[in-house]
Chain A
Amino acid sequence: MAQISLSEAERTFIIHGIQDNCRSDGRSCEDYRHMDLETDVVSNTSGSARIRLANTDVLVGIKAEIGVPLPERPSEGRLEFFVDCSANATPEFEGRGGEGLALDISNTLSKAYDNPSSLDLESLCILPKEQCWILYVDILLLECGGNLFDVASFAVKAALHNTCIPNVSLHRGEDGETQLDLSDDPFDVKRLDIKQTPSIVTVSKIGHYHIVDASMTEEECCLARLMVGITEEGTVTAMRKSGLGSLHPDSLYEMIETGKKVGKDINKTLYKRLLEEEKLGQNKRKVGFLG
């Protein structure tokens, strides 16, 4: 990410503002910035979504392919996350420069989704032990303006909601082998239920207080941050602390509570908006990057 250099005065200004619950752009400590969300942006994917939060721009494309299930989970499909930090965001991501950050985000997302209740993986099974649907979730970071983990998780949630998996019928071929028939009908598809999927909320500790959705300058002042994966019901699916500073257990509990409260709200709002967007159907105005 682009290096921001802050003077001592700027740092103090930000810390004092947060103490009074008024950040540099007027938000309170628990407010998110304005978000633009659009699904079905890329056509040759099974599902896609794009989210723009201030300067952060993330595009997610999901491709569904048929593959072999894992031996320890023979009757479940699976999700594979891949993050690509595009050089568009900053020249430091050229070549393999963004790989560290990319691995970080993809591992955090995998951990957040790696539990039996997030997504109904058994519905992705076609033939136990032999064939299942593998959803390749590809996240493309186009611009980095702070708070990447949260935006990536919201975009994944939206893209999963948009995903259409063709229905498969099995029949026995002439040689006794089971053959798969994919339906050609674009409306004969299976959708995924994303009500239980987690969103990642990053809570950053600045001074003695903590904030949600840190901008780039606020991230520079932050000593430690906690990333929690929260579902709509408030269940914590994953948790990780990062940053140079250390946290006292009391502040840790407070940060988890804030994360849960904000996470529940944002999940509810996201789901509501996704349903509204879907209801527009054919009337939806396709904007993409042209708007």
Chain B
Amino acid sequence: MELLSDQGFRVDGRKPNELRRFQAKMSVFSQADGSAYVEQGNTKVLATVYGPHEIRKGKGKAQHDKVNINCQYSMATFSTGERKHRPRGDRKSTEMTMHLKQTFEAAIMTHLYPKSQIDIYVEVLQSDGGNYTTSVNAATLALIDAGIPMKDYVCACAASFIDDTPLLDINNLEESSGSPELIVAILPRSEQIAFLQMNSRLHEDNLSKVLDCAIAGCKDVFAMLDQTVINHIQSVSASLSS
């Protein structure tokens, strides 16, 4: 099955540097401090944020100079093609949890809330590739919805390298084809990389091409996230003033 046709079209009809359809909504739930829902193509992710609040379990883990960031990454059992037996607790989910924690520790202004805790919970409802990237984008919106001060947005995008062409925002079929996968999360305004992971094998000559492609994708995602926040604020202030 060829992932890139001769005319330059991918399996789902996109061009190599095209993002999947992006749709997002903030404040999806009223009980959480902040929540957001993001759809990138067929991947659907819900993120909620609670905090900052007092550290509940293990007061001994309190840090005197910064806030504790507690993440949980969970996938619904019906989210994948093959049914998952456990939504969380397996190695992949634990690894994702640590990656998310590491990413947001770089972006949140942790020095503002010492000895406190911020919880970020991510639930994947439908998985079609780009689970980490969509989770990061959803969690960013949820943190903004909760009003937690951050240095910048965190935007993530994944890229692959197939048939000498960098492909942006890969879906599940392209991910499982065995081609290299580069996942990047950046702080767009300063262009700092908060998270970088590469799987499989990529020649170093091609690295800068794929990295540039991924970073360009992240900047496009930033434009979408920013627009979502602006739309949300406009609708909230319109309903408050009327």
Interface residues, chain A, with chain B CB atoms under 8 Å away: 2, 42-45, 48, 55, 57, 59, 61-63, 65, 82, 84, 86-91, 94-96, 136, 138, 140, 142-145, 288-290
Contact = CB atoms under 8 A, between A and B. Distances in A.
Contacts of A57: 29
B194 interface: no
Nearest to B42: A43
A44 to B, nearest CB: 6
B77 interface: yes
B46 A84 contact: no
A45 B78 contact: yes
B46 A87 contact: no
B50 A91 contact: yes
B46 A142 contact: yes
Nearest to B36: A289
B77 A136 contact: yes
A57 B48 CA distance: 14
Interface stretch (B6-14, B107-115, B121-129, B211-219): B121-129
B76 A44 contact: no
Contacts, number: 96
Interface string B114-149: 000001010101101000000000000000000000
A138 B74 contact: no
Interface residues of B, number: 35
B25 interface: yes
Contacts of A96: 89
Interface string B41-72: 01010101010000010000000000000101
A88 B35 contact: yes
A98 to B, nearest CB: 10
A90 B25 contact: no
Contacts of B35: 88
Contacts of B44: 42, 288-289
